[in-house]
Amino acid sequence: MFSILNTVVLHPLQFPNADRVAWAWGNFGSGLQAVHSSAVSVPDFQDYRLQNRSFQYFSAFYSDDPQDLSIAGHGEQVRGAMVSSDFFETLGVKSLLGRTFSLADEQVKFPESILSYGLWQREFGADSNVLGRTVGLNGGIQP
């Protein structure tokens, strides 16, 4: 109970209109065999988003284990997430440089990456010419 009180009342989410954000998740199975999970398959998410008539935005994110990031031969582990195209709009967050994602980005084999402010400061020295640079993520190349 304290965790909920601490998170919601004492340390609310740090973005505009946080009180208007809802989290939905799926339950798989039934009875004692039910598995409660926050995971929703990509096809289910796409169906939910297509049929949505209640929410201004309908976004998804998936956060897995830390990712191996390599920049010019230097490597480190970072936390990251895969997000749907309107994720940043949902949270009311704008990019400081460049752009956020478009619906077309969801169809690309090698998706674009968005750096956190902290990573941009730490690894790129807050260089505004960072746009278009390539980084390695888990052994692959990310634009």
> pLDDT-based confidence at 1, cuts 50/70/90?
very low
pTM of the model: 0.71
Domain segments of the chain as ranges = 2-142
Q: What is the 3-state secondary structure (H, E, C) of the chain?
A: CHHHHHHHHHCCCCCCCHHHCCCCCEEECCHHHCEEECCCCHHHHHHHHHHCCCCCCCCCEECCCCEEEEECCEEEEECCCEECCCHHHHHCCCCCCCCCCCHHHHHCCCCCCCCCHHHHHHHHCCCHHHCCCCEEECCEEEC
The predicted pLDDT at position 17 comes to 76
| Greater model confidence, 90 or 137 | 90
d(CA 57, CA 15): 15
Average pLDDT score over residue span 71-100: 85
- Percent above pLDDT 90 for the chain: 6
